[in-house]
Amino acid sequence: MKKHYSSVLLDGCAIEYKDLSLCKINDFYDRIIKKDMYQVHSDNRKDKFSMMYKNPHEAVDKFLEIKGKLK
C-alpha cells in the first residue's frame, strides 16, 4: 500500500481519505514554494494535523499513520 501511495503522489495526484489529504503542495502553490514539498493535512476533529515534508516517503508514512487512526 505504501508503495502505491508513493507512486500516486509522485505522479502528481493528491490522495484524500475522509478529512485527510496528502499532496505535493507545489502543484497548488508553484510560484510561492520553489522546492518540492509534500503536505499531510487533517481537519478531523479528533486528530487535527498539518505538516509539510521535503521527503515524500515521510509524508506517506504520516498519512498512513493518521489514516489508521481515522478508521
Residues 47-67 pLDDT 10s? 899 999 999 999 999 999 999
**What pLDDT is stored for residue 46 in this prediction?**
83
Domain containing residue 23:
2-70
Three state DSSP letters for the chain: CHHHHHHHHHCCCCEEECCEEEEEHHHCCCCCCCCCCEEEEECCCCCCEEEEECCHHHHHHHHHHHHHHHC
Which pLDDT score is estimated for 43? Answer: 95
What's the pLDDT at 21?
96
More confident residue, 2 or 48: 48
More confident residue, 3 or 54: 54
Number of domains in the chain: 1
